[in-house]
Amino acid sequence: MSSFSESLIAWFQVNARELPWRQTRDPYRIWISEVILQQTRVAQGTAYYHRFLERFPNLSDLAFAAEEDVLSLWQGLGYYSRARNLHAAAKFVQTERNGDFPPNFKELLALKGVGTYTAAAIAAFAYGENVPVVDGNVMRVFCRYFGIHEDVRLPATMELVRSYAAQLLPTGKSWEFNQAIMELGALVCTPSSPSCATCPVAMDCFSRKNALQAKLPFKSKAKSKRIRHFNYLLLEHDGFFAFKRRGEGDIWEGLFEPILSESEKPFSSPGDFDFLNPADSNFRIESFLLPSEKHILTHQELHIHVCVSRLSKRHEEEGLRWVSGTQLSDLPKPIIFSKIISKARSSPLYLVFHQ
Ligand code: SF4
């Protein structure tokens, strides 16, 4: 074993955090934890992990679940396509493989939504297969340690780091090595102010010797985001709100939202939100605007403008679902709507309506 791997693993044995997914070798549980951790940090991810496994303790529970239940548990994590892919892959394993989880890196790659990183993580952590697991933490450690100046956004840089990691990975120690390097990136070789004084591989680190910790890894600027204006008409009648399921081919696929009109420019007065047919507009008692919200996604910047409209009777149209405040918490919806509903309810105008 190289001195790098030896020092790293020895450090890990003393400093490793106790994390629930480190106590199991079950590929299903490891898969769930990895997908959740791609969305969020450990502290928040742990709560999601426990909730998810409580509801779907094994693969068949997930495979036979309704998509709405899966999306509902995913609320707050974002990237709902990951939850849909988890569900689709679970169904595939259940029906096409009789519930047998793919047994190695190569076969894991065939699952929907499972890319190189996730397949490597499951193969290394569940089966001990000798494959390097390279995430953002590992990229940072290796770029600093070896003095790699290439842009970490480039697939070629990822491949370079994977090849270094593969060479250092000691046979039969895949679990320890991969966990250790990720842990080092999370606890010691952090994005800003790495703790080089306590680092087990500091002796030969290129960046420490050349004071390049703040310069590496190098990441080029992200492309500018697409700006979109979402204008929502949030209908309310007697404490119930009207929501619709989003269609396919855009963000938030399959989630619920109020009636939407997207525009180039924001709608700025209640009259702009007059999407109802004239007959139903007559049932409008009062309308008011909420302060606009900005919601940032990886490649998009959403500006959310909401007009709350109280009706004296329910408006009905195809696909519209009226839900009470209690049902709303179980409705799979972009997390921003929990915030919007609570703002709507605490708005002085809403309170006046309900006196
Ligand atoms: S010595 Fe510092 S920069 Fe180098 S790997 Fe360790 S923590 Fe990171």
Spell out the domain ranges in the chain.
3-210, 226-353
The residue behind tokens 């004239």 is 278
Residues 6+ away with beta carbon under 8 Å from 336? 293, 295, 304
Atom of ligand 1 nearest to the CA of 200: 6
Q: Which residue owns the Cα nearest ligand 1 atom 2?
A: 196
Give the pLDDT score at 354.
56
Name all contacts of 121-127 with Cβ < 8 Å and 24+ positions apart. 121/30, 121/34, 121/178, 122/27, 122/30, 122/31, 122/34, 124/174, 124/175, 124/178, 125/21, 125/25, 125/30, 125/175, 125/178, 125/179, 126/25, 126/26, 126/27, 126/30, 127/25, 127/27, 127/103
> What's the CA-to-centroid distance between 200 and ligand 1, angstroms?
8
Structure tokens at 138: 């590992």
> What's the CA-to-centroid distance between 116 and ligand 1, angstroms?
25
What is the 3 state secondary structure string of 58-115?
CHHHHHCCCHHHHHHHHCCCCCHHHHHHHHHHHHHHHHHCCCCCCCCHHHHCCCCCCC
- Closest C-alpha among 169, 171, 172 to residue 182: 169
- List ligand 1's pocket residues with C-beta within 6 A: 141, 144-145, 188-189, 194, 196, 199, 201-202, 205, 207-208, 213
> What's the CA-to-centroid distance between 209 and ligand 1, angstroms?
9
Give the pLDDT score at 92.
97
Q: What is the Cα 305 distance to its own chain's centre? A: 24
Give the pLDDT score at 281.
66
> What's the CA-to-centroid distance between 213 and ligand 1, angstroms?
7
Nearest-angstrom CA–CA distance, 301 and 294? 7
Atom of ligand 1 nearest to the CA of 140: 8
Single pTM value for the model: 0.79
Superfamily grouping for domain 226-353: Nucleoside Triphosphate Pyrophosphohydrolase (3.90.79.10)
Atom of ligand 1 nearest to the CA of 206: 4
Mutating to test ligand 1, I would choose from 137, 187, 188, 206 the residue with most ligand atoms within 8 A of its C-beta, which is 188
What is the CATH T-level fold of the domain 3-210, as seen in this structure?
Endonuclease III; domain 1 (1.10.340)
Atom of ligand 1 nearest to the CA of 199: 6
> What's the CA-to-centroid distance between 167 and ligand 1, angstroms?
19
Q: Which residue owns the Cα nearest ligand 1 atom 8?
A: 189
Give the pLDDT score at 70.
94
The conformational region for residue 99 under phi > 0 = left, psi -120 to 50 = alpha, else beta, is left
Give the pLDDT score at 127.
98
Q: Which helix (H) or strand (E) holds 187?
A: helix 174-187
Please determine whether the domains at 3-210 and 226-353 fall in the same fold group of CATH. Answer: no
Catalytic residues: 34
Nearest-angstrom CA–CA distance, 245 and 335? 14
Integer-rounded Cα radius of gyration of the chain: 25
Q: Any bridge partners for residue 260, and if so which? A: 232
Block means of pLDDT (10 residues each) for the chain, 355 residues, are 92 97 97 94 93 96 95 86 94 96 97 96 98 96 97 95 96 97 97 97 97 96 90 90 91 92 87 73 79 88 91 89 87 86 72 52
> What's the CA-to-centroid distance between 89 and ligand 1, angstroms?
38
Atom of ligand 1 nearest to the CA of 144: 3
Most distant CA atoms of the chain, gap in Å: 78
Mutating to test ligand 1, I would choose from 137, 138, 187, 196 the residue with most ligand atoms within 8 A of its C-beta, which is 196
Cα–Cα distances (Å) from 11 to 7, 53, 87, 282, in that order, read 6, 31, 37, 71
Mutating to test ligand 1, I would choose from 3, 146, 189 the residue with most ligand atoms within 8 A of its C-beta, which is 189
